[in-house]
Structure 1
């Protein structure tokens, strides 16, 4: 098995790696097992585990990985799995050994996951039995072992290994602040995903920051519902629950059903949940929201994309003041801004409409011009950040690191401005901008306008090539259930409400908006879907 080699000789452009000893993240589990041993830690379907039981399973898995497969500090272990207790346990076992947890988006193709295995230098793989093609695609000599979750009993079965080594214990491996613990893959909106290197010291700050800024007052009595894949933001959120000693309830496998979610909230007295705006929308618009007691819910945390104002107001009318918004990328582990429940209002006069909040504790924001100079208050530029939540760099990708950092600032690629009070407003993603007739067009403003139409439920505006203007905008719309409108009607309705150069030249109506594995609406996926369906040649308006 290979051992850790620095992610780059100089991942941050001149800043030497730290040799400051920090607590291993798995110590949160150790502490909980001692202090809260018989208290609830995890629920998955009909099964439940206490902190003592979870610690025992993680110990057994870590011992088995080390004893049978030689896993040691710095080894990268690829995970291809849907949410389950074993996936959660694999995270903590990797941390305990000082190994690096490398979770894949389970909806990716076998070829894509094979590339993740190669690019990360993974020396072993833990794979759900429902993904045999992914396992086969990653079955290379450099993968020293393959452990299967839910497979037939035998040497390669996850639970067989845990049962065999049950009772064995493993001390939490000594780690430094900059020792990697997690390769957090970007969603790959442009090109292939990049592995953001998260470290033990960085993550320690992130967990404390989440508890302080997003879920103040969270204790071991809290309950958290996990709706999204553990491979990304939900995994960070659930580690926050471990840090607080709060129990996690994993949503059952299969298609997302809002009624099941609300029943779980009632039955388990859920205190908080983390998701994306599209899932919040599905939850609050479903009839079942009024059929269950959801009074235990204190924080409905949403991130990953801005929430349109119309959806925000409706969610507040249904749930009350429990919405928490944060803005952050995987590279900053979600820690850039926060807009707490006290600053969410139904009344437009009270609400800072369009703001994603103020800087998180310990985080500093700079709005910068293309040359790195600071933009004045109220003027748009690239959102750049510094602080302990910023990642160590992209694994084995010096070119990407050089582009991502400038004078110590991490460049998010998002555009926005801050107001006089320091609140951040995101105006768009730099990659979403298109140029029509020499003018820069940012889709966000147009999308917000279209969503004020009573018949429109979801919308995405993107630029497509045009022989006259270079690029023109198209508006892809999903109508509300039971509503009717034509492309011509939407065009005529919007035309007097927006500047002519921003006016979309095409309207395309589809039944369902294509989304990423994490429930986000991404322009890349929409564009690919339209091309596959041959819809890019829809009616063009004058």
Structure 2
């Protein structure tokens, strides 16, 4: 029966792997039994304990943090379980970060040790990190492990409140914040999904999303561990290998973000697409159009969720949800959700729609989603009490996301706060991108803001006012495109999701009466051809090459708007949005 092999705690689930010889971890060229995964985790738990013994003696009350700069490999899973056993904290390091930003992430989270691999090791070169770095592909690493291969699990398992994860998320300002996640919270998240989806030891979950993100760690690894099932790893997401992988590993469950779903749908259809073991996908931002296409093509239902790495707010899914609805609030403790005016805290009126389904009272109905049960599942940010206090001000948990709620209680997502954006399901801080673009010697002023993506989430758009002596007429477009691309390619701290999709060259940066950049005006203009030169990278083009950027044309705008219509997102193009 479902749940018979489930354990109440993460450590209990890990200990239950001992002696089980069914596949626990499979992937590109490897198969590991549950017992092999357990023994590998014990060896690494012993290794981290030995390596940091002196530190632990000097600071007996400080739990060690282990940075994981790894792709989806067995080592990542081994170390997740090793940290759980040893009472250490795994820090998911985002490999799209670069240079000083990457160094900051590692040092801010007080990593006492970093584990990486040959493919990612060059990212750390020149950073001058003060802590040991273990390359899991090196002979030295194998030699270190050799002394611990027969290690047993720790005699005293860590308490459920022990911190197991620090997961980075970008907020509205400044550098990314590290969200604290205890073993108790992670176990509860895994158990909830096990129960919701009926996951058992017979199931295989396909982990094609990166394990440094909560999507894969909280919504796939944790529930499969609690269910006693099998995790199938893909080193990095591949749309072309998706169907072959789920067939090869007999995967019935996977997690996703909206952009990944659109990439899979863009692959060439096969006559046997629906002949797949997949029965369920769980994730965010796929959109109703793509979810329907995915189910019709692959015979697999996608269940959209709303939540955050912080854990302060979650919406319950229901197959009866109307189109465009994210979900309803649950009925258990910590589920007192409301949409409120962020200025007054008053609850917004319920949203109303006309006969065509268009929202008719958005100005009054849209507000910020809050949880009036303070903190709920939120356990704080690492070394950032100010940000934690802002999340839980006035006794409520504030999501920073805009929603509206209809008369039947369905919540619909309406956007995000002005100073942050979400690309491919990753939050990016506007300030970080502006600081980088501000280095361009041709730029007098820069503003970065979110514009809607035709499929899911946002795209990065920038407005640039050029310095005197530079012009941005039609004849200047090729040279500007090449100069911009050359500049972006030379920035060591430019993450892979940061380069703008659209760049508008303005004669004068619009300003408010208080001399702040009028971003609302820029967001309203988006990519309209109002006399300014707008460069863009067409979808599928290289991120930062001279061939990637080219002038946006009226025909391009028509095709872009057609994509919004195709995906049922034309409401995002209204002047009010």
Q: TM-score, normalised by structure 2?
A: 0.69
Given that 2:375 and 2:397 are in contact with CA atoms closer than 8 Å, whether structure 1 keeps it comes out as no
Distance in 2 (CA, whole Å) between partners of 1:389 and 1:261 is 36
The correspondence for 1:355, drawn from 308, 313, 325, is 325
Over 3 Å counting, the alpha-carbon distance change for 1:117 and 1:509 in structure 2 is: closer
Residue 197 of structure 1: CA displacement?
A: 0.8
Given that 1:199 and 1:391 are in contact with CA atoms closer than 8 Å, whether structure 2 keeps it comes out as no
Spell out, residue by residue over 1:146-176, the C-alpha distance to the aligned partner (whole angstroms, 9 max, x if none). Answer: 221112x12xx1x443333111112265444
Distance in 2 (CA, whole Å) between partners of 1:530 and 1:412 is 36
Residue 250 of structure 1: CA displacement?
A: 0.6
Residue 206 of structure 1: CA displacement?
A: 1.3
Distance in 2 (CA, whole Å) between partners of 1:263 and 1:291 is 11
Q: Which residue of 1 aligns with 2:431?
A: none
Given that 1:301 and 1:323 are in contact with CA atoms closer than 8 Å, whether structure 2 keeps it comes out as yes
Q: Does 2:306 correspond to 1:339?
A: no
Given that 1:225 and 1:250 are in contact with CA atoms closer than 8 Å, whether structure 2 keeps it comes out as yes
The correspondence for 1:162, drawn from 129, 135, 145, is 145
Q: Does 2:377 correspond to 1:399?
A: no
Spell out, residue by residue over 1:7-64, the C-alpha distance to the aligned partner (whole angstroms, 9 max, x if none). Answer: xxxxxxxxxxxxxxx9752321112325xx0111001311111111110111111112
Moved more, 424-433 or 101-110: 424-433
Distance in 1 (CA, whole Å) between partners of 2:376 and 2:117 is 31
Q: Does 2:523 correspond to 1:473?
A: yes
The correspondence for 2:208, drawn from 206, 227, 230, is 227
Q: Which residue of 2 aligns with 1:67?
A: 50
Moved more, 165-174 or 81-90: 165-174
Residue 261 of structure 1: CA displacement?
A: 1.3
The correspondence for 2:14, drawn from 21, 25, 29, is 29
Given that 1:62 and 1:93 are in contact with CA atoms closer than 8 Å, whether structure 2 keeps it comes out as yes
Given that 2:194 and 2:200 are in contact with CA atoms closer than 8 Å, whether structure 1 keeps it comes out as no
Q: Does 2:180 correspond to 1:130?
A: no
Q: Which residue of 1 aligns with 2:103?
A: 114
Q: Does 2:249 correspond to 1:277?
A: no
- Three-state SS of the structure 2 residue aligned to 1:32 is coil
Q: Which residue of 1 aligns with 2:70?
A: 81
Spell out, residue by residue over 1:381-439, the C-alpha distance to the aligned partner (whole angstroms, 9 max, x if none). Answer: 111124886221111112111211123322110000122222210111022699xxxxx
Over 3 Å counting, the alpha-carbon distance change for 1:174 and 1:414 in structure 2 is: same
- Three-state SS of the structure 2 residue aligned to 1:297 is coil
Q: TM-score, normalised by structure 1?
A: 0.73
Q: Which residue of 2 aligns with 1:423?
A: 410
Distance in 2 (CA, whole Å) between partners of 1:459 and 1:401 is 25
Given that 2:404 and 2:412 are in contact with CA atoms closer than 8 Å, whether structure 1 keeps it comes out as yes
Q: Does 2:376 correspond to 1:376?
A: no
User: 5+ unaligned residues in a row in structure 1: which ranges?
Assistant: 1-21, 344-350, 435-440, 452-456, 478-486, 492-503, 516-525
Over 3 Å counting, the alpha-carbon distance change for 1:426 and 1:462 in structure 2 is: farther
Q: Which residue of 1 aligns with 2:489?
A: none
Spell out, residue by residue over 1:43-91, the C-alpha distance to the aligned partner (whole angstroms, 9 max, x if none). Answer: 1311111111110111111112212332766111111111100011111
Over 3 Å counting, the alpha-carbon distance change for 1:46 and 1:377 in structure 2 is: same
Over 3 Å counting, the alpha-carbon distance change for 1:293 and 1:29 in structure 2 is: farther
Over 3 Å counting, the alpha-carbon distance change for 1:532 and 1:424 in structure 2 is: farther
